[in-house]
Structure 1
Amino acid sequence: MPSSNSTISTSTVTGPTARNVFKLAWPMTLKAIILHGTVVIDAYLVSALGETALAAMGLAAAIAGFVLGAILAFSNAMQIRTAQAFGTGDPVFLKSVLAAGTTLSLAVGLIGLLAISAFGGSLIETIAPSPEVADLSRSYLAVFSMVIIGEAIGQSLSSHFNGCGQSRIPLYSFLLSLPINVVTSIVLIHGYLGLPAFGVTGAAMGSAIAISVQVAFLIYRLDRLDGKLRHVPGWRQANFIETLKRHLAFSLPIAATFFSATFATHVCTLIYARLSLNEFAAMTLIAPWIMVGGTIGMQWAQATGIIIAQLLGRGENEAVLDRFLGSAWRGAFVAAVVVATVYLAVCLSASVLYADLNAQTRAVLFGFLPVLLVLPFPKGSNAICGNTLRASGDTIYVMHIFVWAQWLFRVPATALAVLHFDVAAIWVLSLLLWEEFLKFPAFHRRLFRGDWKRSEITE
C-alpha cells in the first residue's frame, strides 16, 4: 500500500490547495538549488590544485554530465508515473513503477558507462588542451563512474518518494551526503589524516563516498516505509517485461523533452560566445541566476503535476481538479513575483556583486532587467500547463511544443541574431521570453480544452 504520509487526504471535501503544493515543492526546490551550489563547491575545492586540475575536472564532468542528464530525465518521468500509481492506491501499480523505473535508470547509467568506456578516452584526447589534462581527466572519470551508478539508483528512489508526497526524504539524503562529500574530498585531494594525496581524483572519490551514503539512506527509508511492496505479487501488465515496456513508452517523450532542452541550451551558449566580450561576460553571469530562478518555478510546477497525477489516479471529480489547479496557478504567480524580485535585486546590485568587472559589462547586465522582470510569468504558467498535461498522460503533445519551439525558433533565431544581424545582447536574451510567448497559446489552449480532467489512469 502507499506510504502513510500522503500529500493529499481523501477526507478533504474541497481537495488540496497551493498549501499542499508548497509543502511538496520547498524540499524539491531547496535540493535543486543546493545541487547547483555543489558544482560550485567542487570546483572551488579543486581550484586550489591549479588550472590544469580544474580543467581536467571540468572536462570529465562535462562528459559524465550527459549520462547524469539522461538519468535525471527518466527520473522526472518516473516521478509523474509514481504519483499516478500512488493516487490509485494500487500497491501492484506502485511496485511496478518502482521496479521498472529503477531498472530503466540503471540501464541508462550502464549504457552511458559503456559509451564513456568506448568513446570517452578518444573524446578526451581530442578536446583536452594538454596530455596532462587528458590523463587527469581520465583518472577522474574512472572513479566518477561509481557516482553515475549511485545516481541511477538514488534518482529513481528520490522520484519514488517525491511521487508519493515524501519530498523531504530526498532532501534529507542530500543534506546528509553534502558535508560528507566536502570533508572526504578535502582529505583525499590534499592527503590529510595520513592518506595519500590523490589530487583531482580525490574529488571524484569524495563524490563516490557521498553518493554511497545517500543511496544507503534512501534504501533504508524505502525499506521502512514501503518495504511491504516486496511481498506484493504480480505486475501492472502481464509480466515484468511488458510492465517495463509500458514504463519506457510513458517515459520516452518526457525524457526527450529534457534532452532537447539541455542540448538546445548548450548550442545557444556556444553561439553566445560570438557576442562581444562584455556582452558574453554578461550573458555568462546572468545564466546561473536564470537557472536558479527557473528552478523555483519549475519545482512548483512539478509539485503541481505530482498532485494532479495523484488526483487523477484517485479518480477525483472535475470540480476538485479545477479548484486545485486554480489555487496552484495563483501560487505559481507568487513564485514568479519572487523570482522577478531576485532578478531585480541582482541587476540593481551588479555594481556591488561584480565590482571588479568592466562598467560596460555591468551596464549590459542591468540592461537585461526588462526581460528578466517579465520572463518568470509566462514561463511559470507554461510550466504549470506542461506538468499538468504530463500528469494526465499527454506527454507527446508537451514534447512537441518544447522541441519545435526550441529547434524551429530559439536556436535558429539565436544564430541569426548573433551570427548574421549582430544584434545587442538584450535582444538575444529576449528570445527566451519570445519562446515562452510562442508556447503560451499551444499550452493554454490544450489545457483549457479540459480533456486532461477526464483522463483515466488505467494502464
Structure 2
Amino acid sequence: MTCNALLMQSVTIIDLLLIASLGEQPIAAFGIAGAIVAFILGIQAAIANGTQLVLSRAVGAGDRKKVGLEMASGWVTNLGFSSMALVSLFLLAEVIVTRITDNAVVASEAIDYIYISLLLLVFSSASSVVVCYFNANKKTRIPLYGFMIEIPFNVVCSAVLIHGLWGAPEMGLEGAALGSVAAIGIRFFYLAYRFFQEKKLGNVMGFSVLSRESIIAHIQEVVPIVANFIVLLTGLLLFQILFAQLPVPAYAAITLVLPWIKFGSMFANTWAQASTIMVSQYLGKKEFSSIPPFVYQSLMVTRIIAVFIALGFFLLSVSFPYFYPNLSSETLTALSIIAPIYIILPLVRTNNMFCGNMIRAMGDSYMIVRINIITQWLIALPLCALMIYLSAPLYIVFGIILFDELLKCYSFRKTLQKRLDSYLA
C-alpha cells in the first residue's frame, strides 16, 4: 500500500520535475490548477477510504455478498460525486482561477490544465473503488502493478508532450495534463480486467441486490469520513490560495515543496490506512481485545517512520538546487527559508495522521471533524491570512501549517486513548 501511495503521489512530482524547466509562471499555474484538481481527487479518495473500511468489515465477517453490495454502492457514490464535480469545474474553473490570481498568463495556463484534467477525474473515481476492494482483501500487489504500468507511460508521454519530442506538438503545461490522463486510463483498464477476474472466480457477488436503501446506508457510513477529509482538503486548498497571494518566487517555492511533503507523508498515512484495515477486520470479527495492542505496536512503527521522513526532507532541502537548476535565485532563497519547517513537520503530522485514521476506523469520525474545524478553520487559516496581510516573513506564513498540526496533536492522542481504553474495559 505504501508503494501504491508513493507511486500515486510521484505523478505530481514527475510533472513538477518536467515543468520546472519551463519557468516560474508554469509552476505557479500548476500550483493553482493542481490544488483544485487535487481537492476533487482528495474527496474521491475520502469516499474510497470510507468504502474501504466498510469493505474491510465485510471481508472480516466473510460475507461475499456484502462485499459486492458495498462495491456497487461505492461506485454509485464515488461516480455520482465525480460527475457533479466535473460539471461544476467545467462551468466554474475560469471564475475560480481568476479569483485566485490576477496574472493573466498563469490563469490561462491553469484553466487549460483543469479542462484537460476533467477526464482524469472519471478514471480516478472508478479506479479508486477497485483499489479499495483489493486493499480490503489484502491483495495490495494488484494496485501496485497498475501503478507500475501507469508511471513509466506517464513519464514518457508527459515529457514528449511538454517539450515536443519526436515530432509531437510542444504543449507545455497542457502536455503534462494529457500525459496524466492517458496514463491513468491505462491503469483503469488494467484494474477493471483484474476485478472482472475476481468476479469470475466467485470472490465477490451481490451486485444484483443493489438498491436505493443500500446506497443510502453506504453513504451514511461514508459521510463522516468524507466530512473530515473535506474540512482538511478545503483547508489545504485555502492555504494554497492564501500562499498564491505571496510574490511569485515565494509561491513557486511552496508549490515545489508541497508535493514532496505529501510524498513523504504517504509513508505514515498508508501505514495508518493499512492498520485501519486490520482494525476494521477485528471489528468485523468482534475481536475487540486484539485492537489496543495492535494499535500500540503500529503507533511505535509510525514514530520510527516519522524520523526517517524528517531525515529524508533534510537531504531533500540540500538537493533542491540540483533537482531544479533553472530556478531563480529568489526562489532558491525562499526554498532555504522554509526548509526547517517542512523538515520538522513530519515529526508531528505523522502522529496526527495515525491517530486520525484509527479514530475514524473505530467510528468517531465526527470528533476528528470538530478538532480540525477548530484548529484549522478557526485558528490557523485566519492567522495565515492576517500574516500575509501584515507582510510577515515567509517562514512565519509557511510555519502556520506546522502550528496547526501542533494544536491538534494532544486532542487526537487523548481521543484515541479513550477509545482504546473502552476496548480493554
Please report the TM-score for the alignment, with normalisation by the length of structure 1.
Answer: 0.77
Q: Which runs of 5+ in 2 are unaligned?
A: none
Match of 2:66 in 1: 93
Identify the residue that residue 326 of structure 1 maps to in structure 2: 296
Matched pairs, number? 420
Shift of 1:123: 5.5
Structure 1: runs of 5+ lacking an equivalent: 1-24
CA drift of 1:41 comes to: 5.5
Contact 1:286 1:365 (8 Å CA) reproduced: no
Paired with 1:187 and 1:282, the residues of 2 have a C-alpha distance of 25
Q: What's 2:414 paired with?
A: 445
What's the Cα RMSD here? Answer: 3.9
Query: Is 1:68 the equivalent of 2:37?
Result: no
Aligned residues of 1:31 and 1:174 also touching (Cα < 8 A): yes
1:346 corresponds to 2:316: yes
Query: Which residue pairs with 1:296 in the alignment?
Result: 267
Q: Over residues 60-83 of structure 1, what are the superposed CA-to-partner deviations in whole Å (9 max), with x where a residue is unaligned?
A: 656544433332221222222222
> Is this contact kept in 1: 2:228–2:365, CA < 8 A?
no
Deviations 1:72-97, CA, capped at 9 Å, x for gaps: 22122222222222222211221122
Counterpart CA distance in 2 for 1:59 and 1:112 is 17
Partner of residue 9, structure 2: 33
Match of 1:410 in 2: 380
State the Cα distance separating 1:312 from its structure 2 match: 1.5
CA distance in 2, matches of 1:286, 1:44: 12
Give the structure with the larger helix fraction.
Answer: 2
What is the alpha-carbon distance in structure 2 between the residues aligned to residue 282 and residue 78 of structure 1? 36
Alignment of 1:160 with 2:133, yes or no, is yes
1:347-362 aligned at under 5 Å gives the runs 347=317, 358=329, 362=333
Q: Residues 423-438 of structure 1 correspond to what in structure 2 (within 5 A)?
A: 423-438=392-407
Given that 2:15 and 2:158 are in contact with CA atoms closer than 8 Å, whether structure 1 keeps it comes out as: no
Percent of paired sites with the same residue: 26
Return the letter of the residue paired with 2:219: L
Distance 2:94 2:396 in 1: 40
What residue in structure 2 maps to residue 211 of structure 1?
184
**Separation (CA, whole Å) in 2 of partners of 1:368 and 1:233:** 50
Question: Is the 8 Å Cα contact of residues 158 and 176 (structure 2) preserved in structure 1?
Answer: yes
Tell me the residue number matched to 1:3: none
Instruction: From the superposition, tell whether residues 277 and 225 of structure 1 become closer, same or farther in structure 2 (CA, over 3 Å).
Output: closer
Query: Aligned letter for 1:28?
Result: N
Cα offset for 1:152?
A: 1.2
* Aligned partner of 2:229 among 235, 246, 258: 258
Tell whether the 8 Å contact from 2:269 to 2:350 is kept in structure 1 after alignment: yes
CA distance in 1, matches of 2:70, 2:158: 35
The structure number with the bigger radius of gyration is 1
Could you say what secondary structure the match of 1:375 adopts?
helix
In 2, the alpha carbon distance for the partners of 1:278 and 1:411 equals 22
Could you tell me how far 1:218 is from its partner in structure 2?
A: 0.5
* One-letter code aligned to 1:94: V
Superposed CA deviations along residues 338-380 of structure 1, whole A, max 9, x for unmatched, are 01111222345567667875489648726742x4454323322
**Distance (whole Å) between structure 2 residues aligned to residue 209 and residue 354 of structure 1:** 26
Secondary structure of the residue aligned to 2:138 is coil
Q: Which amino acid aligns with 1:442?
A: S
Residues 43 and 107 (structure 1), Cα distance of their counterparts in 2 relative to 1, 3 Å cut: farther
**Residues 266-290 of structure 1 deviation map (CA, whole Å, 9 limit, x = unaligned):** 3223434566787666545543432
CA drift at 1:334: 0.9
Question: Residues of 1 paired with 2:32 and 2:399: CA distance?
Answer: 30
* Segment drifting more, 300-309 vs 184-193: 184-193
Question: After superposition, where does 1:270-281 map in structure 2 within 5 Å?
Answer: 270-272=241-243
Q: Structure 1 residues 328, 65: CA separation in 2 closer, same or farther (over 3 Å shift)? A: closer
Question: TM-score of the superposition, structure 2-length normalised?
Answer: 0.82
Determine if the alignment matches structure 1 residue 109 to structure 2 residue 78: no
The 1-side partners of 2:128 and 2:189 are apart by 13
**For the Cα contact (< 8 Å) 1:96–1:243, is it kept in 2?**
yes
Pair 113,337 (structure 1): closer, same or farther in 2 beyond 3 Å: same
Q: What are the within-5 Å matches in structure 2 for residues 90-239 of structure 1?
A: 90-120=63-93, 134=108, 143-185=116-158, 197=169, 199=171, 204-227=177-200, 228=202, 231-232=205-206
SS of the residue 1:249 aligns to: helix
The whole-number CA distance in structure 2 between the counterparts of 1:131 and 1:436 is: 35
Task: Describe the superposition over 1:381-434 as per-residue Cα deviations: whole angstroms up to 9, x where unpaired.
Answer: 2222111111122211112212221101211222233424x5443344443333
Amino acid at match of 2:4: M
CA contact under 8 A between 1:30 and 1:171: conserved in structure 2? no
Question: Hey, what's the Cα distance between the residues in 1 that align with 2:177 and 2:254?
Answer: 30
**Equivalent in 79, 89, 92 of residue 52 of structure 2:** 79
